[in-house]
Amino acid sequence: MKARQKRLVLVGLAIVGVGAAAALALSALQSNISYFFSPSQVLAKEAPADHVFRLGGLVSKGTVKRAEDGLTVTFDVTDMAQTVKVSYTGILPDLFKEGQGAVTRGRLGPDGIFYAEEVLAKHDEEYMPPEVADTLKTAHAQGMTGAAGAQPGPVARQVQTSGAVTQ
Amino acid sequence: MIPELGHFALILALGLALVQAVFPLWGSFAGRRAWMELARPLALGQLTFLAIAFACLLQAFLTDDFSVVYVATNSNSLMPDIYKVSALWGAHEGSLLLWVFLLAAWGAAVATFSRNLPLPMIARVISVQGMIAIGFLLFMLLTSNPFERIFPAPLEGRDLNPLLQDFGLAIHPPMLYMGYVGLSVAFAFAIAALMGGKLDAAWARWSRPWTTVAWIFLTVGIALGSWWAYYELGWGGWWFWDPVENASFMPWLVATALIHSLAVTEKRAAFKSWTVLLAISAFSLSLLGTFLVRSGVLTSVHAFATDPTRGTFILAFLVIVIGGSLVLYAWRAPAVSGGGRFDLVSRESFLLINNLLLAALALLVLFGTLAPLIYEAAGWGKISVGFPWFNTMFIVLSPLLVLAMGIGPMTRWKHDEIPRLVRRLWVAFALSLAVFALASTRLLLPGNLHVGLGLGLTAWLVLTHLLNLSERLKNKGGIKRIASDLRGRSRSYYGMWLAHLGVAMFIVGATMVSNFGTETDVRMSPGDVHEAAGYRFQFNGAKSVQGPNYRAQRGEFLVYQGERQVAVLHPEKRAYVAGGMPMTEAGIDAGFLRDLYVSLGEPVGDRGDWAVRLYYKPYVRWIWLAGVLMALGGILAATDGRYRTLRKAATLPAGNLARA
């Protein structure tokens, strides 16, 4: 083969490879992304009934209940307009607290309860998951003033860490 | 007073950086030797002033000067001294100071250790570094001054995030930043070469050891971060595909491609413009990583306050650096390309495959990291890309990379014959296939296709590299040769060898822990016994203990294998005095072949029960040991004799090795 032909073969291979990788990446993406919905959107039936999605908001005060035995815990997630009951079996993250923001990932059951496979809580005192902050803003609720820490102050703590805090 | 001194030193450093960015570069084009000779002293001066600023901030931390806002928000008088030091780079402003200080340190190192470089080259390299420093210093002084005061000063600081009060994390950011910033040297060399219009093997040889050293730091930094996440976060994971991790992994992937591509440019004078493009991309990704983490644009589970002025500055800086260097590349690269030709079957081709795959992986990680932003900007909804997606991408692409890794080193430069390769490699291939087949079934261990793939690829890497070493020794005089090779000019061969075995080790660790690790959530009363993965965990209750700046509930677990007690674990649930933040401190029994890992969830009921999580993590240590092997390999490669010889030759009056 001449040098020119060889280069063409190499370039061709590279293009085929990149194309294949892109096709694979996009097709796999469809089954691996999870959308975020607020309680209001869930009650308006905007969330898929048969697909994993993320639900976020504030954990309502006084609603966190552990089962008498075992590890199942239930709590309400609210955007100040609507509320969805969440059930989760397992260990909650360190920073999960009533009255604070949380994001959960799971499926909506036919009984209207959200069965979470994973609970992510905010990372430290000031932090609010961005989706939760947005949700609270768009829910234009009156009682928003209580949403502690949605707006970090000028001396807000910024933290540099490597590695996710909750999984 | 001292914080003001630090602030002043920063301003002076900015002034010096301006001079450094303009005059040596100008001199190199105008042919003014005096201006070019300014470069070295300027680089050292830059380091001096930034060292002063750094020392001033350090002093503020060590003396608990809470009138400095940054100290007040990130430190606390109760904190042990070592964490007061690491708190300096625990948040935004301080980590920028660390970044720019390390940049100056690399600049000074280049100025000191590159005596053999032609003057115009060194002048341009140091000028480019000055330009980067201007960006960072302006950013600090305008938006993120670490020396800002607060009045009245608070009596007590707010404490460092307890997750960061840890030895692993005390040294992780400096390591990572050394890597990020080190890539600025490769970048500066590339830009300088583009400006000069001369890209040759000599350029690659100068640039190579610096790039390798940056890569070593990056490798160590990432491995440390992964190790820290594993033991400190209490969730037993070693990699989460979190945006913050991806931010460090993308430059690593590209830097890995770069050190391989530089090898081709040095030995065969090929891949020139590709190498330059990689050097630009690696540093651009470092910048993107530094800033993505900082600007808070990403939906990460990490906490980052958003600030629009910072965001705008960052965006503008990125556009100037990346856009500017790409424009320069588009303008000058056509003039410097060309070079060594090679056949389809040659080592160059396999290195090209390696480069393309690594670049593809980096692009995929970039895409997965930015996809949520793209979706949101396009109004398609708020999404998150789960780690199954990233895993799928790697499981599909990396086997090809590993196959090429086995063949590449066995192939000749420029031209090789397929029959010759088949003759040398078929035994290794057949054996690896056998390992793959065995491990895919349940004959020896409860395997599956993933296990088969992982162990088969490991066998392939190990066998091909053993074969390679034995052939090399046979041709060059037996096993005794190793010692003299290591002393002389063949160190880089052993560096390659070790680093590649590191990859094999990593594959074993990742495969085993992903497929055979177990994790059990269970509620345990004091005295309860739970069995997991052949180990019996006995819970002896939890009691209160007092730490220097926290209170903790400390549980006790006895772990038995059969009748033998193998470990006593003390996981803790801490509450820090200053922030009141709860934190899980896992109890870990580390071993070469397996870790036992217990973390306390929360107290349940009123009889002293706890929700606990029990993990069995086979071969998990191999993942980080792999990082150590790769770093050792890098050290061998960077200290190869031929770079030292060059340095010695340069001290001779007639610097004929150093061509302009």
Chain A touched by B397 (CB under 8 Å):
yes
- Is the predicted pLDDT of residue A156 greater than 60, yes or no? no
Q: How confident is the model at residue B324 (pLDDT cuts 50, 70, 90)?
A: very high
Chain B touched by A34 (CB under 8 Å):
yes
Residues B182-218: b if buried by 16+ CB within 10 A, e if exposed: bbbbbbbbbbbbbbbebbeebbbbbbbbbbbbbbbbb
Q: How confident is the model at residue B489 (pLDDT cuts 50, 70, 90)?
A: confident
DSSP β-bridge partners for residue B564:
B561
Cα–Cα distances in angstroms (integers) from residue A51 to residues A31, A48, A107, A124, A135, in the given order:
10, 6, 6, 30, 21
Q: Which residue of A89, A158, A159, A166 to mutate against B (max B Cβ within 10 Å)?
A: A158
Contact B578, B551 (CB under 8 A): no
Q: State pLDDT tens for residues B378-415.
A: 778 778 887 888 998 899 889 999 999 999 999 999 88
Q: How confident is the model at residue A68 (pLDDT cuts 50, 70, 90)?
A: confident
Q: How confident is the model at residue A167 (pLDDT cuts 50, 70, 90)?
A: very low
Q: Within 13 Å, how many C-alpha atoms sit on residue B588's CB side?
A: 21
Contact B535, B554 (CB under 8 A): no
Q: How confident is the model at residue A133 (pLDDT cuts 50, 70, 90)?
A: low
Mean pLDDT of A76-82: 88
Q: How confident is the model at residue A132 (pLDDT cuts 50, 70, 90)?
A: low
Domain boundary assignment for chain A: 1-29, 36-144
Question: What was the pLDDT predicted at B171?
Answer: 87
Q: How confident is the model at residue B15 (pLDDT cuts 50, 70, 90)?
A: very high
**For residue B268, what is the enclosing H or E element?**
helix B243-268
CA–CA dist B194, B128 (Å, integer): 12
Q: State pLDDT tens for residues B290-314.
A: 877 766 555 443 333 445 677 778 7
Question: What was the pLDDT predicted at B296?
Answer: 59
CA–CA dist A87, B85 (Å, integer): 43
Question: What was the pLDDT predicted at A58?
Answer: 87
**Between residues A27 and B460, the one the model is more confident about:** B460
Tell me if A9 and B164 make a contact (CB, 8 A cut-off).
no
Tell me if A94 and B582 make a contact (CB, 8 A cut-off).
yes
Tell me if A167 and B235 make a contact (CB, 8 A cut-off).
yes
Q: State pLDDT tens for residues B187-197.
A: 999 999 999 88
Residue given tokens 């991790």 in the structure block: B245
- Calculate how close chain B gets to A110, using CA atoms only, in Å: 23
Identify which of B331, B271, B205, B336 has the alpha carbon closest to the alpha carbon of residue B659: B205
Chain A touched by B460 (CB under 8 Å):
no
ipTM of the complex: 0.72
Question: What was the pLDDT predicted at A30?
Answer: 79
- Calculate how close chain A gets to B127, using CA atoms only, in Å: 30
The dihedral sign for the CA sequence B301, B304, B310, B314? negative
Identify which of A129, A155, A123, A154 has the alpha carbon closest to the alpha carbon of residue B74: A155
Tell me if A165 and B302 make a contact (CB, 8 A cut-off).
yes
Least confident of A155-164, B7-16, B134-143, B144-153: A155-164
Mean pLDDT of A16-32: 82
Chain A touched by B65 (CB under 8 Å):
no
Q: How many A/B residue pairs have CB atoms within 8 Å?
A: 195
Token pair belonging to B627 = 């990082």
- Calculate how close chain A gets to B69, using CA atoms only, in Å: 7
Q: Within 13 Å, how many C-alpha atoms sit on residue B540's CB side?
A: 9
Contact B579, B162 (CB under 8 A): yes
- Is the predicted pLDDT of residue A128 greater than 70, yes or no? no
- Calculate how close chain A gets to B657, using CA atoms only, in Å: 32
Tell me if B301 and A126 make a contact (CB, 8 A cut-off).
no
Identify which of B117, B100, B364, B329 has the alpha carbon closest to the alpha carbon of residue B253: B364
Task: Tell me the average pLDDT of chain B.
Answer: 87
Residues in A touching B302 (Cβ below 8 Å)? 123, 159-161, 164-165
Q: State pLDDT tens for residues B256-269.
A: 999 999 999 988 88
Tell me if A164 and B176 make a contact (CB, 8 A cut-off).
no
CA–CA dist B527, B537 (Å, integer): 10
- Is the predicted pLDDT of residue A91 greater than 90, yes or no? no
Cα–Cα distances in angstroms (integers) from residue B454 to residues A163, B7, B337, B635, in the given order:
24, 53, 39, 27
Chain A touched by B303 (CB under 8 Å):
yes
Question: What was the pLDDT predicted at A149?
Answer: 34
Question: What was the pLDDT predicted at A162?
Answer: 32
Question: What was the pLDDT predicted at B474?
Answer: 85
Least confident of B221-225, B276-280, B382-386, B551-555: B382-386
- Is the predicted pLDDT of residue A10 greater than 60, yes or no? yes
- Calculate how close chain B gets to A5, using CA atoms only, in Å: 10
- Is the predicted pLDDT of residue B174 greater than 50, yes or no? yes
In B223-262, the residues whose Cβ lies within 8 Å of chain A are 225-226, 228-229, 233-235, 237, 239-240, 242, 244-245, 248
Q: State pLDDT tens for residues B219-237.
A: 999 999 999 889 887 778 8
Question: What was the pLDDT predicted at B312?
Answer: 76
Residues B49-66: b if buried by 16+ CB within 10 A, e if exposed: bbbbbbebbbebbeebbb
Cα–Cα distances in angstroms (integers) from residue B519 to residues A6, B38, B236, B448, B612, in the given order:
52, 60, 9, 19, 10
DSSP β-bridge partners for residue B384:
A34
**Between residues A45 and B485, the one the model is more confident about:** A45
Tell me if A91 and B613 make a contact (CB, 8 A cut-off).
yes
- Is the predicted pLDDT of residue B652 greater than 80, yes or no? no
Residues in A touching B180 (Cβ below 8 Å)? none
Tell me if A160 and B89 make a contact (CB, 8 A cut-off).
yes
Contact A59, A96 (CB under 8 A): yes
Question: What was the pLDDT predicted at B297?
Answer: 59
Q: Which residue of B304, B341, B374, B553 to mutate against A (max A Cβ within 10 Å)?
A: B304
Residue given tokens 């001396």 in the structure block: A155
Residues in A touching B257 (Cβ below 8 Å)? none
Question: What was the pLDDT predicted at B74?
Answer: 87
Give the chain A residue whose CA is nearest to the CA of B166: A161
Non-local (6+) Cβ contacts of B256 within 8 A are: B215, B358
Q: How confident is the model at residue B240 (pLDDT cuts 50, 70, 90)?
A: confident
- Calculate how close chain A gets to B586, using CA atoms only, in Å: 12
DSSP β-bridge partners for residue A103:
A56, A120
Residue given tokens 């590339």 in the structure block: B190
* Residue B574 DSSP symbol: E
pTM, 2 dp: 0.88
**Closest to A91 (Cβ–Cβ): which among B158, B388, B521?**
B521
Tell me if A156 and B305 make a contact (CB, 8 A cut-off).
yes
Query: End-to-end CA distance of chain A, in Å?
Result: 53
- Is the predicted pLDDT of residue B548 greater than 90, yes or no? no
Mean pLDDT of B614-619: 94
- Is the predicted pLDDT of residue B460 greater than 80, yes or no? yes
Q: State pLDDT tens for residues B17-40.
A: 999 999 999 999 998 999 999 999
- Calculate how close chain A gets to B74, using CA atoms only, in Å: 7
Q: How confident is the model at residue B214 (pLDDT cuts 50, 70, 90)?
A: very high
Give the chain B residue whose CA is nearest to the CA of A16: B356
In B145-174, the residues whose Cβ lies within 8 Å of chain A are 150, 158, 161, 163-164, 169, 172-173
Task: Tell me the average pLDDT of chain A.
Answer: 73
CATH number of A36-144: 2.40.50.140
- Is the predicted pLDDT of residue B443 greater than 70, yes or no? yes
Residues in B touching A33 (Cβ below 8 Å)? 371, 375, 383-386, 389
Chain A touched by B525 (CB under 8 Å):
no
- Is the predicted pLDDT of residue B534 greater than 80, yes or no? yes
In A62-91, the residues whose Cβ lies within 8 Å of chain B are 66, 68-71, 89-91
Tell me if B397 and A21 make a contact (CB, 8 A cut-off).
yes
Identify which of B137, B278, B252 has the alpha carbon closest to the alpha carbon of residue B199: B278
Question: What was the pLDDT predicted at B655?
Answer: 33
Question: What was the pLDDT predicted at A138?
Answer: 62
Question: What was the pLDDT predicted at B212?
Answer: 96
Q: State pLDDT tens for residues B39-64.
A: 999 999 999 999 999 999 999 999 99
- Is the predicted pLDDT of residue B128 greater than 90, yes or no? yes
